[in-house]
Structure 1
Amino acid sequence: MVCRRPGPAYGDDGAVLDPLTVAACQPPVAVRDVCANVATHAEAVRRAGARLVAFPELSLTGYDLEADPVDVDDPALLPLVEACAGVGTVALVGAPVRTAAGVEHVATLRVDADGVGVAYLKTHLGGAEARRFAPGPGAAVTVVDGHRVALGICRDTGVAAHVRDVAAVGPDLYVAGLVHQPDELDEQRARAVRIARATGAPVVFASCAGPGGPSYPATAGHSGVHAADGTVLDEVDAEPGAIARATLAGLGRGAG
């Protein structure tokens, strides 16, 4: 599926940007088993056929607030790095992390051929998360092929201040990893539409499917891609392993 704006799209350097194929994956979760989750993430990356692939919140550990933090230098992550390198993908995955100062966060990691790094730290923590984790500093952008990709994690997507901060950075695309209860599906979809319209950018939501952790015996799934006007370009069901995909053209701020 293709979302197009009229006219060419340009990056910060004035170059015309190519369309970006994106995917939202919802692999089955093995709680606290990073090696098993790396394997399913790597398989999803190879299946997705996309330049940018997003995964749910805390996808490498499952939504277990007692899970050990993930070290970006852990050799256990190498199969995912190799999968990304093999198909030319940038993956955005969820994990708990610990900084050099010993502060822990809920994070989005960027994984590509160059390795693993922290791309975003969740700003608006929910419920019990705040007893362990510290909030991140706010809106963040990672760049993929000249496209400015703004990031969020679950509760962030429902906070007006986060949406305003994201809109202010002028993103070409917004991506968030989620874990929602099945009865929160309508709100999940409504948030995607609100963010798309507020930012003027397409939205990719990767939402956990199947059992997600001790407090999530079932989850909403229905990962999807929305156009900048909120239109659904692709959405999958609640089945673990499903992948939503779309090719987005005209993402640069010079478009149209």
Structure 2
Amino acid sequence: MPETLTIAVAQPLTVPHDVAANAAAHARAVRSARARVVVFPELSLTGYEPAAATLAPGDARLEPLVAACAETGAVALAGAPVDGDGDGGGDSGPSIAMLAVDGSGVTVAYRKMYLGAEEALRFAPGSRPRVLEVDGWRLGLAVCKDTGVPEHAAATAGLGIDVYVAGTVKHAHEAELQAERARGVAAGHGVWVAVASFAGPTGGGFAETAGRSGVWAPGGEPVAQAGPEIGAVLTTTLTTKPATKPF
């Protein structure tokens, strides 16, 4: 496992329902980040639009993002609504997903487990926490409300992770709540935390979002944080640490 991992959190311009435009914006962010992993907000490829059509991993509109990852060697973690996988374990309906994109294509890496009340009218919760391994670094995956559920962080940390990675969308007045949750996970489980938070207006009543994507060190200290502006991309180098047992 390399001693360092470069990770970026990005809050690109998102056009409601326009997957092609959003994939192009994601590709630009990947190229500018110069990072091994680039994290995007919740439902970043469609906007936070609860009625948006589901997106298949093989959708041709994602090809510019795949190409950018191939060019830079990056793994992009982007948000989209996806169809269920039919396993009958809680993932059988449409889900709010985190997609893993690299130069070889797109896969569904994680399905949001803890849904908001309105989300639950359409989406099914994911059935279990997930880990994505990149260069030996174990990334625990989360989407928005997951970060505020202690059981999610505990279950994910229990899988043995180095970084807790989340894509979120928050109202502007929730920026400090978002940071508080990140600090709590970092301090409580001794892991790095990286949060990519939506910037600019989107659907679902989010006329003004928080932005303020950031990275927190094990122990809870912030090491990088964006403002509320659309288009911010922050790249941080994470370093290895002694193994820490989760509470």
TM over 0.5: yes
Q: Which has the higher contact order (CA 8 A, sep 6+)?
A: 1
Aligned to 2:28: 43
Post-superposition offset of 1:252: 7.2
Moved beyond 6 Å, runs of 4+: none
Number of aligned residue pairs: 239
Post-superposition offset of 1:164: 1.3
Cα distance between partner residues in 2 of 1:221 and 1:22 = 17
Pick aligned residue for 1:147 from 137, 160, 164: 137
1:99-155 deviations in Å (ceiling 9; x for gaps): 254620000000001100000000000120000000001211000001100000000
1:2-52 deviations in Å (ceiling 9; x for gaps): xxxxxxxxxxxxxx4231000000001101000010010000000001100
Aligned to 1:109: 99
Cα distance between partner residues in 2 of 1:66 and 1:162 = 26
Aligned to 1:17: 2
Residues 214, 160 of structure 1: CA spacing in aligned structure 2 closer, same or farther, 3 A cutoff?
closer
Aligned to 2:75: 90
Alignment of 1:51-70 (within 5 A): 51-70=36-55
Aligned to 2:128: 138
* Pair 1:179-2:164 in alignment: no
Aligned to 2:89: none
1:151-181 deviations in Å (ceiling 9; x for gaps): 0000000011111111211201110000000
Cα distance between partner residues in 1 of 2:61 and 2:163 = 30
CA RMSD of aligned residues (A): 1.3
- Percent identical pairs in the alignment equals 46
Task: Give the TM-score normalised by the residue count of structure 1.
Answer: 0.91
Pick aligned residue for 2:202 from 212, 229, 246: 212
Q: Name the SS for the 2:170 alignment partner.
A: coil
Residues 173, 104 of structure 1: CA spacing in aligned structure 2 closer, same or farther, 3 A cutoff?
same
1:195-242 deviations in Å (ceiling 9; x for gaps): 111221100000000112241111000000110111111101000000
Listed as ranges, the gaps of 5+ residues in structure 2 are: 87-91
Q: Name the SS for the 1:190 alignment partner.
A: helix
Pick aligned residue for 1:26 from 4, 8, 11: 11
Cα distance between partner residues in 2 of 1:72 and 1:242 = 26
* Pair 1:194-2:179 in alignment: no
Q: Name the SS for the 1:237 alignment partner.
A: coil
2:195 counterpart letter in structure 1:
F
Listed as ranges, the gaps of 5+ residues in structure 1 are: 1-15
Task: Give the TM-score normalised by the residue count of structure 2.
Answer: 0.94
